[in-house]
Structure 1
Amino acid sequence: MSQNISKSHRQTRVVKGLVSLAAIAVIAFSLGPVWQISASTVLPDGFAEEQYAIGLTDPTAMAFAPDPCPSSGTPVHRLFVCEKEGTVRVFRNGILQANPFLTVTADTRGERGLDGICFDPNFTANGYVYVYYTIRQADLSLPTHNRLSRFTADPAHPDRALPGSETPIMEMDDLSPTSYIHNGAALRFGPDGKLYISTGENGNPPNSQSVNTVLGKILRINPVPENPDGTNPESTFPSDNAFYNSATGKNRAIYVLGLRNPFTFAFQRGTGRMFIDDVGASTWEEINEGFSGKNYGWPTTEGPAVPPVHGLTNPIYAYQHFTGTPQGCAITGGDFYNPAPLCSGDSPFGFPSSYAGQYFFLDYCRDWIYTMDPNHIDPTSQYGFHQINVFATGTHGYPVYLTIGPDRNLYYISRLDSAVYQIHYPASLSPTIGTQPADMLVGQGWPATFSVDASGVPPLHYRWQRNGVDIQGAADSPSYTIQNPTVAGDNGARFSCRVTNFYGGITSRGALLTVITEQPPVATINSPGPYTYYNTGDTMTFSGSAVDGHDIVTGDPQDGVLGPNAFTWEILFEHHPLNNPNHHTHPFFPRTSGIAGGTVRLNFGEKDPDVWYRIIFTARDSYGLSTTVVRDVLPHLTHLSFNTSPTALNLRLEGVKKNAPFDFWSVVNTKRTIGADTPQKVNGLTYDFYSWSDGGPRYHNIDAPPSNTAYVANFWKRPAWGAITANPNPVQLTGGSNTGVTTIFWSFQQPRETGCERVRGSFCKMLPITSRLRPSLLSIRLRCMSLQQRLRALLLLIRILSLQIRTE
């Protein structure tokens, strides 16, 4: 960590458009989340969206319990939602239950945590629920891994798991200690009754192509309990798995490979077709159709390969990050609209028949939902992609885990709002309110913002009202801010919004504004200081302090100096500048209360240089007033360039083939894997790798150095185009007590001198004598020999050439 940076680095960050290095935002909130979120989801006519499940902390995945229909009355649909920190919460028809279904101790660094859940097909009889989470070691420096476990619902209390019922099913491979990304974790039972599991490649692309690891795959198993030593019994792995005979151990679970981060996948009811949503790197997001034994190309390819690469399977649909329509950054949810039959007590509705069989999918950054037709190809697509159509835009922030519920409605999680939203049909063409304005508590003089989320046929118009009367000058907007409220003039006022369109209107609830004379605390991040920069792997200490305010009327002190019990910390890993449409956030250090500060190691694992960490510090006093400040810590960057000599050839970066020369920016100390394939052929000539300019082996890791660095892979050009056959071959040369050999090369296009390679002393390697051309083109240089040895070698060569020459 450092608090200065070279001028060149500083200019680089300005060019790349990241946020101000000293940006510190101060926001006062109470009785609600720190960030007030407002979205106006645009849906097709007749659809509406509403907030279905709230009260969550960092939700990651969800699944509806396959409960049987009741004999009479309204069915109860139970939604189980995973929280990253390790709890599963239960909602009954949208109502959060007091007790969690289960709690596990999860490692929550980066994308790790409790990230997957599904129900056994025979759940009604056995009560089995499966979850996928990263185990937390008591010593965080020790290796960790993801675990698939089974829990059993308590028959007497079905919204809770039986205590002690956790049964480990499978332990995945150890995760990298320096990469917290690409976790996968989706779980589904297939139509064949097998359990399918998605696993990310943990930020190490070669994992995806290796059958010696389960990472970067879809796995297929029989979910039987693992052995006491953590291994799996033979019955775990179906013998018809594609790699059952070629892999060993748990790797026999591999169903497909060549995936980067298969965030979710789904099976189509009726047909059994499997679609896999694979999050891409820098260019493409993919939907792949899953077939046993297929290889989807990562890291050899990303997106569609043109022409197709033998042995690799192209996606049936993919979209790019910065060109085409749609655009996005990460495909994080998808499901088929083939819902199960409704219970007799359910509302007899569902999406229009035109949506039957369509595949709904969403993007994490661009806040949209599209549909894809599994049965029709777009005739205008140069890649043969399937047809798509936009379904929703402006969804709530950072959507993940789209699913179709038993009530035939569509559900998705908003990571930004920590809530689940429902999209249903039919709805009135006139507006409906999805999220009502929330009550607000502020200190006198501090702004208060009210927001409403509505859907309906656009355009929608908003009239904000105070105590039922239109507010003059209020903007036609889904949010309204009162800038300088006072106790005397504004305490107790209620703010509502009238939302209208061509077909009618609706008025929201009146949200209560409470204004008190007490003032919010003054919060300060003490460390790291402003203008702090980091290298990958640095250890960062964060700390803060807060002093409560004084009553704005009486001047009386309030709580004075606040202690750690008033503090809450969170650190986010930010990807891309805030003004980039593909900007998104990854959790890094989970929201933690009651600490004065802490220490973290900055090794999230992302290779992209367009990243930084955001520290969020909140101090809350006894009156319920809070202040939040943020500090951004940006990276030191270095410029790396790669080339080959003596001509332009291919290299590999993180296992991905790239044409030399190429260059890129990297965060200092980020680990990169570089390599060179050998031999390589260009224009009929063959080149053999022999060294890297940094002295490393052919494939090796580098830690991006602090100064700009060039790496060159050196190759020998083979001058030989043919073969001379000698018997014996290699030829033994004897001189005194030493032995050696002469290697003879020639080239039809470019005769060259070459010779043997000294091993030690006057010894030389024994190499075959090879060529394919007439001896008249021969050019020889003899080295590593005494004069007497050279004369003997020449005489022997003449003898060889006169007795056995094979030419083409």
Structure 2
Amino acid sequence: MKHTRIACMGLLLLLAALVPIETPAAGATTPPSGFQATVVANNQIFAPTLMSFTPEGRIVVAQQNGKVKVWSGGGVSTTPYLSLTVESSSDRGILGIAYDPNYAANHYVYVYYHRPTPTIHGVISRFVVRPDGLSADPATETVLYEMDSLNFTGVHTGGSLKFGPDGKLYVSVGDDRRGIDVSHSLASDLGKVLRLNKNGSIPVDNPFYTQAAGKYRSIYSKGHRNPYTFDFDQRGHLMLAEVGLSSYEEINDVVGGRDYGWPDYEGPDGGDVRYVDPVGGYAHDQAPEDGGCAIIGAAAVDPATSTFPASYDGDFFYADYCNGWMKSFDPVTGTSTPFATGIVNPTHVVFGPDGNLYYLTRNSGTGSGWITRITYTGSTAPSISAQPRDATVGVGQAATFTVEAQGAAPLSYQWFRNGTAISGATSASYTLTNAQPSDSGASFRVSVANASGSVTSQPATLTVVTNQAPSATITSPAATLTYLAGQKIDYSATATDPEDGTLPASAFDWEIIFHHDTHTHPFLDPAPGSRSGSFTVPDSGFETAANVWFEMRLQVTDSAGRTTTVSRNVHPRTTTLSLQASPADARPALDGTLVSSNHKVLTVRNMRRIVSAPGPQALIGGSWRFDTWSDRGQNQHEIVPTAGNNWFMAVFRLDAGNVGTGVGLTATYYDDTTLTQPVIQRTDPVVLANVAGNSSPAPGVSPGTWSARWQGSVSAQFSELTTFRVLADDGVRLWIGGNLVIDAWTPASKATLYSSAPITMTAGARVPIRLELRQGSGRNGQVRLLWQSKSMPRSIIPSTQLFPTG
């Protein structure tokens, strides 16, 4: 099945999107019976993107801000394993960490990250890990490969880095939302999987080595969009989890030298022999337990080390970032099996050297991350996946303790205070209302039981403080403010505390969060210590959907450490962008994505978009190519939808018959409805207008009340009877060869299609033509000059067949 791609971005801090801020607790994961999920590092990592196991058995976790933290069982170190200066906007930052196959001898670690200078671009660097294994020395950096420059505010630059069974270094690289230009090209390393020697040189047996030049000989496969994560399975196959756009998430079995179809296809390609179909995946419009928005992974079971049952040998594990489920994919049968649910924002999945499955998650609201381990126990007895946490509350406030457990249903709960059972406290959460100083220091545990056994949680301690929490008020922006793309937004606030009085600037900590539908993306995290600030809404290379908004979130902290968080949302002003094409079955492209010929999408006003008319396209009558746009722009050009300028049509011409050399008709525009007050004369490539009542059809012409005359000659492409048609919403008349063939000078009540009688035309012969339009009703000024014949489907007469006067 061929999937039509529409112009929306998912995505995507990391991929396509994040989930709502109201997320469940970290460990609310439900694996299959006999498996146990345990949170091993909770809220000790900020904005994590990926993790990897060091040869010493530690876990290193990359944060999007360029810091790499190390976890070694007792917790996450406060001292970074490695700290890099990175470009961290959108889905950029540190994308891959891999260890040399000969690490015992050289202690090399390889990192794939984005540098901000001199232009934003990806690099692959090698570092030397210090003898204690707890950090890498940044002074030892050796840059092995530098990728092509990226757009300043681009997205879909995800990727990963791993050594293959052949000892080569494989790198997946996103297309920077430029798929139509780069993904198939052998002169770009974007939208590709690359293959390198570990010293950065290029293997001479790479599949495109003799076809490409320079560094592009590193290309291993092409036609990728956002190849976010991959792993090598027991067969040695590169299994790739590739994030789609609006329709389909792919699992690709990557073979060197092949093309995987983007941007021509998303999902299966319907038998197109040029491209390789995904071996697995899922559509966005499936039920929540099967669908989603962004595939992440990727971990293949190695039977030599796995502790999982043999039925999982060779399977490929992947998860959906938005819907929070995990599945295993059998590459032999091509089937996926549900494995776990209730995962909040998974960003990476790996198998550890201990044979257990680990996954990394990230809270979209706070940015905090955690690591969860899934082990096979073979038991249905209950186990605790998230322990109750210590709580600190003020006098009179409520304190809630929560446990997360799994095991064969039904599970029963009993909470204890200082070892004594609490009457009625028999659910997964217990709340102590109206906490008093005498409750401070109390210890709370819970016992979880089922028919197979029981388990008791670790204690959680309650602290009751007399200090009251501060209060904060956001003074700007106003709650009624709406924004345009490119607009500067100022924010400010005041804060007071019952004990401290007016709080100083040092108590303020802002975060600007970008919301898209039910998901969020980090946008700006200013340094703490300011009562106010500002940011500018991007107007290009940014999320183009209209169901977006910005949240200004402020946390203030008093001298005793009590905090209060407030926020304010600012929503955009929007308009409906209409993209059309002639003939009706032609397909224009919006932001590099092919769309239907009557595509309408809500967009943020003033958000810059890119339109194009890819060709040739095989349509009725033969092969069609771009002729002109309604706004007279180039084939690929930038548009800015506003309240009064949001309609664009691509005109294609048929490459058959007698293709002329015309450039259009002479157009005269008048500042009245009677064709008597000429204002401007120019050559219009085609007769095509859709002018809003408050807009002008040409410079200097008053909006609303005007008229126009187009004249010159027309040349048919075929010698056959031709019917001329005019679509107009006001008075119109058309002359062909000096004969009045359409006479509808009385304004119509709505847009109407008028037709001439069939006229005998000779291919290549020029025939005089004149079209007049009067616009005076105040409605949109709409006019289109079309033709139709046996060999020519109804379509706008292209510029090649129109010739100006003289």
1:514-549 per-residue CA deviation (whole Å, 9 max, x = no partner) reads: 112211110222332313322333333333332112
Identity %: 38
Question: C-alpha distance in 2, partners of 1:509/1:356?
Answer: 35
Question: C-alpha distance in 2, partners of 1:444/1:517?
Answer: 6
CA contact (8 A) 2:716 2:762 kept: no
**How far 1:704 moved relative to its partner?**
2.6
CA contact (8 A) 2:112 2:124 kept: yes
Q: Is 1:781 aligned with 2:781?
A: no
Match of 2:461 in 1: 512
Question: C-alpha distance in 2, partners of 1:468/1:154?
Answer: 47
CA contact (8 A) 2:548 2:572 kept: yes
**Aligned partner of residue 158 in structure 2, secondary structure:** coil
Which among 38, 62, 77 is matched to residue 50 of structure 1? 38
Q: Which TM-score applies when normalising by structure 1?
A: 0.76
**Aligned partner of residue 501 in structure 2, secondary structure:** coil
Within-5 A mapping of 1:21-36: none
Question: C-alpha distance in 1, partners of 2:764/2:220?
Answer: 55
- Label 1:186 to 1:677 Cα distance change in 2 as closer, same or farther (>3 A): closer
Greater strand proportion? 2
Residue type at the aligned position of 1:48: Q
Unaligned segments of structure 1, at least 5 residues: 1-24, 28-33, 68-76, 226-235, 342-348, 377-385, 550-557, 577-582, 724-740, 756-774, 785-808
Match of 1:561 in 2: 502
**How far 1:365 moved relative to its partner?**
1.1
Q: Is 1:202 aligned with 2:187?
A: no
CA contact (8 A) 1:260 1:280 kept: yes
Question: C-alpha distance in 1, partners of 2:157/2:766?
Answer: 57
Question: C-alpha distance in 2, partners of 1:540/1:339?
Answer: 55
Q: Is 1:700 aligned with 2:688?
A: no
Residue type at the aligned position of 1:308: G
Match of 2:292 in 1: 328
**How far 1:680 moved relative to its partner?**
4.4
**How far 1:461 moved relative to its partner?**
3.2
1:65-92 per-residue CA deviation (whole Å, 9 max, x = no partner) reads: 234xxxxxxxxx2111111111222222
Match of 1:733 in 2: none
Q: Is 1:151 aligned with 2:127?
A: yes
Question: C-alpha distance in 2, partners of 1:638/1:475?
Answer: 52
Residue type at the aligned position of 2:489: M
Which among 116, 133, 142 is matched to residue 167 of structure 1? 142
**How far 1:153 moved relative to its partner?**
0.8
Match of 2:386 in 1: 435
**Aligned partner of residue 669 in structure 1, secondary structure:** coil
Unaligned segments of structure 2, at least 5 residues: 1-19, 661-712, 725-734, 738-759, 770-806
CA contact (8 A) 1:208 1:258 kept: yes
Within-5 A mapping of 1:221-370: 221-224=196-199, 236-269=201-234, 271-305=235-269, 307-324=270-287, 326-338=290-302, 340-341=304-305, 350-370=307-327
Residue type at the aligned position of 2:326: I
CA contact (8 A) 1:48 1:427 kept: no
- Label 1:749 to 1:528 Cα distance change in 2 as closer, same or farther (>3 A): same
**How far 1:209 moved relative to its partner?**
2.7
Q: Is 1:495 aligned with 2:459?
A: no
Match of 1:602 in 2: 537
Residue type at the aligned position of 1:204: R
CA contact (8 A) 2:398 2:432 kept: yes
CA contact (8 A) 1:754 1:780 kept: no
- Between 1:40-49 and 1:317-326, the stretch displaced more is 317-326
**Aligned partner of residue 159 in structure 1, secondary structure:** coil
**Aligned partner of residue 766 in structure 2, secondary structure:** coil
Question: C-alpha distance in 1, partners of 2:592/2:24?
Answer: 42
Q: Which TM-score applies when normalising by structure 2?
A: 0.76
Question: C-alpha distance in 2, partners of 1:315/1:433?
Answer: 38
**How far 1:495 moved relative to its partner?**
2.4
**Aligned partner of residue 252 in structure 1, secondary structure:** helix
Question: C-alpha distance in 2, partners of 1:615/1:640?
Answer: 28
- Label 1:369 to 1:548 Cα distance change in 2 as closer, same or farther (>3 A): same
CA contact (8 A) 2:657 2:763 kept: no
Which among 51, 72, 75 is matched to residue 62 of structure 1? 51
1:44-100 per-residue CA deviation (whole Å, 9 max, x = no partner) reads: 222111111242122111111234xxxxxxxxx211111111122222245434532
Which among 710, 719, 726 is matched to residue 747 of structure 1? 719
**How far 1:278 moved relative to its partner?**
0.7
1:465-495 per-residue CA deviation (whole Å, 9 max, x = no partner) reads: 333344444462x33333432324x323222
**Aligned partner of residue 164 in structure 1, secondary structure:** strand
Match of 1:484 in 2: 434
**Aligned partner of residue 37 in structure 1, secondary structure:** coil
Which among 100, 123, 137 is matched to residue 120 of structure 1? 100
Residue type at the aligned position of 1:244: Y
Match of 2:493 in 1: 544
- Label 1:743 to 1:239 Cα distance change in 2 as closer, same or farther (>3 A): farther
Match of 1:96 in 2: 76
Residue type at the aligned position of 2:32: P
Match of 1:12 in 2: none
Question: C-alpha distance in 1, partners of 2:593/2:651?
Answer: 19
CA contact (8 A) 2:27 2:372 kept: no
Question: C-alpha distance in 2, partners of 1:742/1:351?
Answer: 74
If asked which structure has higher relative contact order (CA below 8 Å, sep 6+), I would say 1
Q: Is 1:393 aligned with 2:341?
A: yes
Residue type at the aligned position of 2:464: V
- Label 1:778 to 1:454 Cα distance change in 2 as closer, same or farther (>3 A): closer
The number of aligned residues is 657
Question: C-alpha distance in 2, partners of 1:707/1:496?
Answer: 63
Residue type at the aligned position of 1:690: D
**Aligned partner of residue 418 in structure 1, secondary structure:** strand
Q: Is 1:460 aligned with 2:434?
A: no
